[in-house]
Structure 1
């Protein structure tokens, strides 16, 4: 259990040096120890707590008009994505392979998660994709996409930025409006995850999930409190490679 807590703590702290969002790093790290649906739900709890903390600091800068246009479609889309996650948890495997005496089963949900991890890590890493932005008239569509993928895998930040960058917001309003939208998406998907708790086996892992949640939140809080948020290219590349390795392992059926 200590190793899990340390992993959660370090993964949260890495967000301040790697340029990747909390969910992008923490979900794969938790997937090393928990069944994948539990890892997504755990990350959602930490993500929500972290965003509520941020929201208390930036609340006055939220642009209400942009928030309503973006968050209104994001919330039901998050429910849909979270529901689909639960459905995929029960799908049959698509294949299997063996290494020595051990057989690895390739399942639909880990395979989809692996593809999403690679795609969204690339959006955070590659300059061309990081600079991608969409006109504000597509805010409704952006809310739907960000909410859906937020509910499905927890990857909502990259798409949210794509659709908010050209919304005419100041830097402060951009951050505040994004944080407010993320809080509502996290709340929506957690409600759906809770409804599926028995199916996703979260109750069995409750104490360990709770401890890992507190450790990850502590890492995010300590980093936000004491460390400058800078991107170190070497660490960014290293984290990207680790994310790619974890994605390949998940997709190949090598997971808990």
Structure 2
């Protein structure tokens, strides 16, 4: 059975890399765990492993924790995590994962920037930490990982690499423990989830032996660049995985037709059809979807017309399905 060694080795690598990038093991592991677990089970397995990882990092870097950050971050993170777990019990987080992947890809300009980017970062006001905690708690509860999403915020607080690792871990300990309890109460922790989560936790413990030696060898600027590189890599993986899932579950299709007088580009999503049609000098933006009718199946069609002769206007009609 390849599941055990594969999950362990990838998790060991992910937690080792996350130690020198400021976080992100969960975001790296999400695509892999999605191959073995249902989408709503992945956050539960991740939280088991990351809770153990956070406890280990707190004990390793206890003296580097910035408690003033923790005290502002945690209070709103916990109730927000409950809201995220509740949302997860209602729907899979596939669209959130897609948006987070695109957000992580925004680190690419920072990665490609030649000079040290820290000189251009504006300081972050500590007054924003409660809102940051609430956002982190909700996202973490909904998809199981926050990781690299708030890396830039920790840099803007003026934290050094050891302080980022330690303070992030302190922020995450209560959050992940609370989430594991909530996942259990909502019935999201099965025997398979516990097995995968245990493997991730074991890998997290194994990575602790290399954390301090690696951080001691890294300059802060290199630490930042590794963080941006990890964010971009996680973003690519999340966009590909979530995008593929959206295409399959919501029947997304793209189409294009053209002749001598008109061109049309269309997108179908679930039962909706969106199209852009250009004919001569007239542009039509069209949306159609099934319409409830007691007499016969019908399709509701709404069209926004942009015409050089008639101006801008809309039309609505029902067509027989």
TM range (shorter): 0.7 to 0.9
- 1:127 pairs with 2:114: no
Q: What does the per-residue CA deviation read over 1:152-176, in whole Å, with 9 as the maximum and x for residues that have no partner?
A: 1123233443433333445443332
2:136 aligns with 146
Decide which of 209, 228, 233 is 2:196's aligned counterpart.
Answer: 209
**Structure 2 unpaired stretches of 5+:** 112-116, 250-321
Tell me the C-alpha RMSD between the 2 structures: 3.5
Q: Does 1:73 align with 2:76?
A: yes
Residues 164-203 of structure 1 aligned to structure 2 (within 5 Å) = 164-197=154-187, 200=188, 202-203=189-190
**1:244 aligned to 2:239?**
yes
Q: Matches of 1:208 and 1:146 in 2, distance apart?
A: 26
Report the CA distance between 1:5 and its aligned residue: 3.6
| 2:94 counterpart residue number | 111
Change (3 A) 1:117 1:5: farther
The whole-number CA distance in structure 1 between the counterparts of 2:51 and 2:106 is: 22
| Structure whose CA Rg is larger | 2
Give yes or no for contact 1:67–1:181 (8 Å, CA) kept in 2: yes
- Equivalent pair of 1:77/1:144 in contact (CA under 8 Å): yes
Per the TM alignment, residue 42 of structure 1 is displaced from its structure 2 partner at its CA by 0.6
Q: Indicate how the Cα distance of structure 1 residues 126 and 165 shifts in structure 2: closer, same or farther if over 3 A, else same.
A: same
Partner of 1:82: 85
- What is the aligned counterpart of 2:211 among 224, 228, 238? 224
Q: Does 1:53 align with 2:56?
A: yes
Aligned residue for 1:155, secondary structure, equals coil
DSSP 3-state at the match of 1:23: helix
Which structure shows the higher helix fraction? 1
Kept after mapping to 2: 8 A contact 1:40/1:154 = yes
1:213 Cα offset (Å): 2.9
Contact 2:61 2:166 in 1 (8 A): yes
Once the two structures are superposed, residues 194-237 of structure 1 have per-residue CA deviations (whole angstroms, 9 ceiling, x without a partner) of: 1112xx3x324256335533554356346537867774999987
Whether 2:45 is the aligned partner of 1:42: answer yes
Is there any run of 5+ residues in structure 1 with no aligned partner, and where? 89-108
Q: Secondary structure at the match of 1:252?
A: helix
Separation in 1, partners of 2:185, 2:106: 31
Q: Give the equivalent residue in structure 1 for 2:10.
A: 10
Secondary structure in 1 matching 2:157: coil
